[in-house]
A and B are shown apart, each in its own frame.
Chain A
């Protein structure tokens, strides 16, 4: 069974740091690009970051650029999100999501999601 399990969330003070992890199983992790997507309480979905299978291509949303760092360890089947200089507006459930390339179009979309981990930034 394809599975993504996030961990590392918690309560952190403004300006603090946190590192999220996503453990993948049931598929060849090293062959897939991955994403982080977040959802603030009662709000919609916001894409946060993307990393290609080899880590050669990385993208960030403007809202987190310069503060968050995405990385992966293919030997450990794991995805990470290092979050620094956290703000109250970073409070959200953070999901990791697998990228799937549509064979016909060549474009990729997010097909499998984890259950998420909650990050609360508050003093």
Chain B
């Protein structure tokens, strides 16, 4: 089973600032990595797939990078609606499909 590790667990950021979230895989997942955003009481929403491709309707301030075992989600200028929990998930080698434990982006 591939273990996904996200850091930090919590990120405190001021509106308008840049946020950088990290995700590491225990073995290579190529570029088969997705990022999801989840707000309280809501379902996860797909942001990024293929490590760097934005899903339909996702604003350009969200960008993904990386391949192999190291990945990054960057939010270039945080808006109020971006404060949420973000999960990475690998789909290269499954079952099982595995998620990171999440990074909470909170208002500083």
Which chain A residues have a beta carbon within 8 Å of chain B's beta carbons? 35, 37, 44-47, 50, 59-62, 95, 100, 102, 104-105, 107-116
B32 in contact with A95 (CB, 8 Å): no
B98 in contact with A47 (CB, 8 Å): yes
- Known A45-B89, A104-B50, A110-B34; contact A61-B95, beta-carbon cutoff 8 A: yes
Interface size class of B (residues with CB under 8 A): 20 to 34
- Chain B interface main SS type: loop
Query: Is B100's CB within 8 Å of the partner chain A?
Result: yes
- Complex CA–CA separation, A112 to B45 (angstroms): 7
- Complex CA–CA separation, A115 to B31 (angstroms): 28
A-chain residues with CB within 8 Å of residue B102 when the two chains form the complex: 44-45
B-chain residues with CB within 8 Å of residue A114 when the two chains form the complex: 43
B-chain residues with CB within 8 Å of residue A62 when the two chains form the complex: 96
- Complex CA–CA separation, A105 to B42 (angstroms): 29
Could you tell me the distance in whole angstroms from the C-beta of A41 to the nearest C-beta in chain B? 12
Number of A-B contacts (CB under 8 A): 67
Query: Is B87's CB within 8 Å of the partner chain A?
Result: yes
B-chain residues with CB within 8 Å of residue A115 when the two chains form the complex: 42-43
Query: Is B101's CB within 8 Å of the partner chain A?
Result: yes
Could you tell me the distance in whole angstroms from the C-beta of A61 to the nearest C-beta in chain B? 5
B-chain residues with CB within 8 Å of residue A110 when the two chains form the complex: 34, 46, 89, 91, 97
A-chain residues with CB within 8 Å of residue B8 when the two chains form the complex: none
B43 in contact with A109 (CB, 8 Å): no
* 8 Å CB interface, B27-72 against A: 30-32, 34, 36, 38, 42-46, 49-50, 55
B97 in contact with A105 (CB, 8 Å): no
- Complex CA–CA separation, A45 to B38 (angstroms): 10
- Known A44-B101, A50-B95, A59-B95; contact A105-B43, beta-carbon cutoff 8 A: no
Could you tell me the distance in whole angstroms from the C-beta of A29 to the nearest C-beta in chain B? 18
A-chain residues with CB within 8 Å of residue B77 when the two chains form the complex: none
B-chain residues with CB within 8 Å of residue A44 when the two chains form the complex: 87, 99-102
